[in-house]
Every structure is written in C-alpha cells, then in structure tokens.
Chain A
Amino acid sequence: MADEYDWFSLDFWAEELEKKYPSTNLFSLSDQKLSEMLLSLEAAKGMSALPTKKSYFSALRSAWTVVQYGGDDSKDIPDAYI
C-alpha cells in the first residue's frame, strides 16, 4: 500500500490526520508534534524517513486547510485587488 503514496501525498496525509485527530488545528502545533502525529498513523508504518524541512510541514498544513475549509482559492478575493 505504501507504494500508492509517499510523504508528499499531502492531501492523503491531511485527510488521514483529520480522521485520527478530528478538529485538531495543525497551525497550533509545533513541527515536532506534527511529526509525532504523522508517525502515529497506521498508514505511516513502513514509510521512509519523514521530511524534516519546515517548508514540508507548512505545505502539509496548507493541504490540511483545504481538507478543513475546502476548495481552491477561487472563492477568495482576487490577488489583483490587494
């Protein structure tokens, strides 16, 4: 099963985190805590080493917000107005 995704399958991990830790705001967690949560997931067993870069966790939080709030950015204000 691990062949179907890797650590950069962000939507997948965001959804898995939401299933196991519903309503936990990833933005309020440290990267370390988020690492622990990821590694605690059933799907993480047998995976290669988790990325450690800060940008990885930021991207994962971004994916999680999409799971939380839904959607692309098309319902936001166009950047051109800002």
Chain B
Amino acid sequence: MASTKNSEPGLYWTPKGGNNHEAMFASCHNYTSVTKDKETGKVSKTTILIDMGQNEDPKDFADGVYQKVVPALTDCLAIPGQPEPEEPAAAIFLTHSHSDHIDAIFEYVQMGVELPPIYGTEYTINALRAEFIKRQIPVPEGLEMKTVEAGDTIEIGNMKVEALAASHSIPGCLSFKLSNEEVSAFHSGDTKSDQTSSLGDGRGVSLDAYRAMEGVDFAVWDGAMANRSGHSTSEAGAKEEYKKIFEDKANEGKQIIVAMPAAHSQRLASVIAAAAEAGKHVIINGGATMEINYVALGDNGYDLQEKYPDITIATAGSDEAQKIKPEDCITITTGIYGEKNSPFVKKLQGLDDSFVLRDDAVIVSPAVGKAVSEREKIEDLLDGYIEKDPDHRSGMKIITAETVKGIGSSGHAQHDDFFQDLLPALKAKVNVPTHVGSAKKAERFMQELRDAGYGTLSEYPRNGYTVQVTKQGCQIVAKEEVKWIGAKYSKKKDKDGNDVLDKQLSWSVEDDHGFSTGDFRQDNARKKIKEWQQKNSQGNNQDKGNNQNNVNSSIIKDIKRDGR
C-alpha cells in the first residue's frame, strides 16, 4: 500500500534513529524522492537510506535485554516475517565507517535481509568488508558494495545523489547532495570545517563545494555544533600543541603517553606527525581497535611509516618496540574514558602489567565534557594508581584539554566552525540538526539558527517524523512511532575469561518505549517495559530465532512532552 504522507512531488526525509530524547543512538535516514510526470501525471518514488547505524548504548534500551539494537526499517527493507515494505530502498549510501553509521548492516545481514546496493568511499567499503571478515559473517551473495568518491554523482531512480568530501575523525568521509527535478537537500554526515588534517591532501571538506550549492532547499546537519571545552577546530593546531608538549624541556627524559579514542585515526595521524617533527619514535599500545585502525590507514593509502621514515612506528610487543626506550618515544594508547579494553586502563587497575608505565610518565589525555563524567575518568584511575605508591609515583602528571587548550578531540563541527564556516558557505533555506545527543541540544541548536537568521523548522523532527521538502518550503507531514530491532547474542570467553559477544541468536521488532520522546523516563513507559518483559519471559519467541512480528506503526496523535 502506497504511503499517503509523501504523495506530493518533493523530497521527504525521515530520521530513523539519531533523533532520540537522549543519547546518540543510531544515525539512519530515509530519503524519498517523489516526482510527477508533467504529461501523464504519473507519480514516481525513489527511496534511499543514508547510513545504517547501531544504537551505541544498547543497555539503555528495554532495560538492556538486547546486546545490539538497530532501527527497524520495516518501511523500506523486506524483513522476514514483516509486512512487505511500502517503498523499498533502492540503495544505501554510507557517509563513513563508524559503528553508529554502519553497524545495522551486520544485524540485517545476519537476519537474512537482502540489502540494496551499498555505496561508500573506498576506505568505507574496505572497512565494511574487513568488519564482515572480522565478525565472520559471510558477505551475502549478490550484496553489491560500490565505491563512490567525492565529486561523483549517482542516479538512483528519479533522484541524483552527489557525493562531497567531508572532514571527520577518520578518512573517507562523505556528505551527500540529493536532488530531483523539484528540489534539493544536503545531508552533511559527520563533518567539521577543518581542512588541515595530517591525512588531508585535499580530501577533506571543501567550502567552495558548499558555496556551489548555495540555496539548497534543505540541509540535515549530522552531529554538528558540539560544544566541548579545549577542543581544537584545527587538526594542524592540535598537532602543534602536541609537538610543544613533546618538545617541552620539562618533559625531557620522561615517558610521554598520549591517550585518545581508539577509532580516532585522524588524531592518531596528527600525534604521529607531531612525534616525527619532535624526533620521537612512536609505540602504539592501545588495544585491538586502535591497532586495527592503524593498519587500516596503511591499507588505504595512508602509510604513516612511509610518510615519516626518520622515526620508527612500532606496535607494542614487536621486536622494534623492544629496542626503543620509553623516554625516546611517544606511547599512543587508549583509555581517556576509562575503556575496559584499554591496556593502559588495565595497567592502572592492576589487571595487566604488560603496559610499560614509568613512574615519571607524562600522560596527555584530552578527555573533557559530560561524556567523560558519565564514565570513569582516566584522572581518577591515575590518582588511584599513584596513591598505591606515592613515594615513587607522585612525579607522574596528566595534561588534559582543560590545562592545554586545543588538544581536545572531535570529528564534529563545534559551535564556532559550524556558524562561521559551514552554515554561511552552504546557505541552505532550511537547516535541521540530527544526531546531536539530545532533544534539548537539538532545540537549542534550532533556536540559535533562528536567532542568527537561518531557516529551520518550528519543531524538532524526532525519529519517525517525516519532513516534506518542496519549493514552497519545508514542513513536518507525519509523526510515526519508530520501531527498533533488538538482537540477542551468544557469548564466548576471551583469552582472559571475560564474556564477549559471539553470534546473533535471535531478534525481534520492538516498540520505541518512548526513547524518541523522553516518555521512557516516566512511569507509564516503565510499566510498558515491564509488561513487555513479562510477555518475553513467557517464551514469546525471544530465543527461538523468530521475530515478534509486532509492527503496527501508528501515528502519534499527541507527542507527550516531559517538561523540557
């Protein structure tokens, strides 16, 4: 049955996972292009998806009974046991290879869903293929993974999809401009305006390309306008700050440890560049994800050892690393958020002694902000470590982004570069935020847009809302309750005897439980979850490899507010 929400010519955008009440959740977007033949009056529709992310905090959904949670794309993918999709997606375009943008793909493939062709840069497609192999999920026969690079235009049905370079925290990131004969829309993906990455060579965002799109009818800004103190909007500036620390006489002869997020490849490159300029070798000792990402850089044309032949870049434990004295190198590790997989964190917690940590170590850890306070800060762990042997360890020191401004890490546009660079370059008629962390942030974001004279919607488009883009303007034309797919996984033991996820066992389609509206914090949502759990405990298909087939998408007549 054809949908009535998009019967008029135009473009239609429906966020599927990133616009929750709180938390980042999954970036996933449905775009439908509707055109009408001027002679015959025949209506043509083309639907694509941009990104298919996973919920990054599955424990927050349905009291954490699922190990993986992804948007339920029942309206555009043929899911076993579910009604046929109204408007099947003709393609999936990926902005980049982060888990909150691609990981739903692995869930759908394991569910036996046939996906349309997937488009991404060579780096993104390589990352996708590597993940299939790493997870030991066979790539389905017939699944097409196609490369698209900045500057390419792909025609899908009645829609044109133009790829543009984006600057994020990893290589191979894209924005997309979508257009049909009526209107156009811009989807930023995760990006910032910085063009000074050590991985750069002209592959980052181009404000000239933005200017060439001036007057685009609608723009969706993904993850933009973060506000983190100590953040650097220039990767070259961050590199210089690190270099100063490495060359600081006060740090001479000491072990310098730089902590960063494991998947922040751009910052890894900046720190290695700073180390090379300071004449320091590099030892990478951040755990599995960091090592994989480092190797991925080399596999995709960013061989940093080749770029900096005067220094040795070695992985911890290698023969090369054994030959380097701690004071002659920069040790790059993870752990700024107290990640349990980090060898540095394990060392501080006394769980693993293999990480070399001298009593005079200078630790550079740019963790700042709310995201950190919700987790165990590396400063706290370090304090605990020092307290165990203060006579020897009191000489250790930590440098954060609050003490040295400009070493903060983010691949997202901050307030300044968003308002000063991106927005005025694009000059879209209507701008909306997506995937910014919370409804409160998004609404503040929209108010700032209005205050600055930029067009936006009158209401924050939550997950499941559909925005119609026409020449006459943009408006919300539907408010449907989104669904989620929760997947349960078997577990296996790792080398240390810890439980880790193994294979997808079962999955089911779940209601939103108020996640997109904030109602889940209220008693009625808790009650709803309890009812669902009772039903679940009675054996309703949960572990039988079946879905619950409970899709009854309904229009929300009255979106409850929770006093924001």
A-side residues, CB < 8 A to B, are 8-11, 23, 25, 27-28, 54-56, 58-59, 61-63, 65-82
Instruction: List, in ascending order, chain A residues with CB within 8 A of B133's CB.
Output: 8, 10, 55-56, 59, 62-63
A-B contact pairs, 26 of them (CB 8 A): A8-B133, A8-B136, A10-B134, A55-B133, A55-B299, A59-B133, A65-B287, A65-B288, A65-B291, A65-B292, A66-B288, A66-B500, A67-B495, A68-B288, A69-B287, A70-B498, A71-B341, A73-B341, A76-B339, A77-B263, A77-B334, A77-B339, A79-B98, A80-B100, A82-B98, A82-B261
Chain A residue nearest to B101 (CB atoms) is: A79
Q: A57 CA to B416 CA in the complex, in Å?
A: 42
Instruction: List, in ascending order, chain A residues with CB within 8 A of B500's CB.
Output: 66, 70-72
Instruction: List, in ascending order, chain B residues with CB within 8 A of A9's CB.
Output: 136
A27 contacts B126, C-beta separation under 8 Å: no
- Assuming the contacts A28-B315, A70-B500, A81-B261, asked whether A75 and B341 have C-beta atoms less than 8 A apart, the reply is yes
Which of B289, B291, B409, B495 touches A76 (beta carbons < 8 Å)? Answer: B289
Q: A3 CA to B410 CA in the complex, in Å?
A: 47
- The A interface is mostly helix, strand or loop, or mixed, namely helix
> Of the 9-residue stretches B35-43, B317-325, B356-364, B438-446, which lies at the interface with chain A?
B317-325
Q: A67 CA to B292 CA in the complex, in Å?
A: 13
Q: How far is the CB of B283 from chain A (nearest CB, A)?
A: 11
Q: A58 CA to B263 CA in the complex, in Å?
A: 16
B56 contacts A80, C-beta separation under 8 Å: yes
Interface string of B340-373 (1 = CB under 8 A from A): 1101000000000000000000000000000100
Q: A58 CA to B303 CA in the complex, in Å?
A: 14
B100 contacts A78, C-beta separation under 8 Å: yes
Q: How far is the CB of B499 from chain A (nearest CB, A)?
A: 9
Instruction: List, in ascending order, chain B residues with CB within 8 A of A61's CB.
Output: 291-292, 295
A58 contacts B288, C-beta separation under 8 Å: no
Most buried by B among A9, A55, A78, A81: A81
Q: How far is the CB of B294 from chain A (nearest CB, A)?
A: 8
B288 contacts A62, C-beta separation under 8 Å: yes
Chain B residue nearest to A72 (CB atoms) is: B501
A58 contacts B99, C-beta separation under 8 Å: no
Q: A30 CA to B498 CA in the complex, in Å?
A: 31
Most buried by B among A25, A65, A79: A79
Q: Which residues between 33 and 54 of chain B lie within 8 Å of chain A, taking CB atoms?
A: none
B115 on interface, CB distance cutoff 8 Å: no
Q: A62 CA to B296 CA in the complex, in Å?
A: 10
Instruction: List, in ascending order, chain A residues with CB within 8 A of B288's CB.
Output: 62, 65-66, 68-69, 71, 73
Q: A81 CA to B374 CA in the complex, in Å?
A: 12
B341 contacts A25, C-beta separation under 8 Å: no
Besides A80-B99, A80-B223, A82-B98, 4 other CB < 8 A contacts?
A25-B316, A27-B315, A76-B339, A78-B24
A82 contacts B501, C-beta separation under 8 Å: no
Interface string of B230-258 (1 = CB under 8 A from A): 00000000000000000000000000000
**Chain B: how many interface residues by the 8 Å CB criterion?**
58
Q: A72 CA to B299 CA in the complex, in Å?
A: 22
Chain A residue nearest to B228 (CB atoms) is: A81
Q: How far is the CB of B101 from chain A (nearest CB, A)?
A: 8
Instruction: List, in ascending order, chain A residues with CB within 8 A of B56's CB.
Output: 78-80
B495 contacts A25, C-beta separation under 8 Å: no
Instruction: List, in ascending order, chain A residues with CB within 8 A of B74's CB.
Output: none
B152 on interface, CB distance cutoff 8 Å: no
A77 contacts B262, C-beta separation under 8 Å: yes
B494 contacts A66, C-beta separation under 8 Å: yes
- Assuming the contacts A28-B314, A58-B130, A76-B289, asked whether A68 and B495 have C-beta atoms less than 8 A apart, the reply is yes
Q: A54 CA to B126 CA in the complex, in Å?
A: 11
Instruction: List, in ascending order, chain B residues with CB within 8 A of A8's CB.
Output: 133, 136
B261 contacts A62, C-beta separation under 8 Å: no
A79 contacts B99, C-beta separation under 8 Å: yes
- Assuming the contacts A70-B495, A79-B99, A82-B263, asked whether A63 and B134 have C-beta atoms less than 8 A apart, the reply is yes
Instruction: List, in ascending order, chain B residues with CB within 8 A of A77's CB.
Output: 261-263, 334, 336-337, 339
A27 contacts B318, C-beta separation under 8 Å: yes
Which of A25, A54, A81, A82 touches B299 (beta carbons < 8 Å)? Answer: A54
B63 on interface, CB distance cutoff 8 Å: no
Q: A28 CA to B322 CA in the complex, in Å?
A: 11
B57 on interface, CB distance cutoff 8 Å: yes
B528 on interface, CB distance cutoff 8 Å: no
Chain A residue nearest to B318 (CB atoms) is: A28
B134 contacts A59, C-beta separation under 8 Å: yes
Chain A residue nearest to B288 (CB atoms) is: A65
Q: How far is the CB of B442 from chain A (nearest CB, A)?
A: 15
Q: How far is the CB of B346 from chain A (nearest CB, A)?
A: 9
Which of B27, B99, B130, B317 touches A73 (beta carbons < 8 Å)? Answer: B99
Instruction: List, in ascending order, chain B residues with CB within 8 A of A67's CB.
Output: 495
Instruction: List, in ascending order, chain B residues with CB within 8 A of A68's CB.
Output: 288, 495
A25 contacts B100, C-beta separation under 8 Å: no
Most buried by B among A9, A23, A63, A72: A72
A55 contacts B263, C-beta separation under 8 Å: no
Which of B292, B339, B495 touches A75 (beta carbons < 8 Å)? Answer: B339
B211 on interface, CB distance cutoff 8 Å: no
Q: A62 CA to B292 CA in the complex, in Å?
A: 6
B160 on interface, CB distance cutoff 8 Å: no
- Assuming the contacts A55-B130, A75-B340, asked whether A27 and B295 have C-beta atoms less than 8 A apart, the reply is yes
Instruction: List, in ascending order, chain B residues with CB within 8 A of A73's CB.
Output: 99, 288-289, 341
Q: A72 CA to B493 CA in the complex, in Å?
A: 11
B167 on interface, CB distance cutoff 8 Å: no
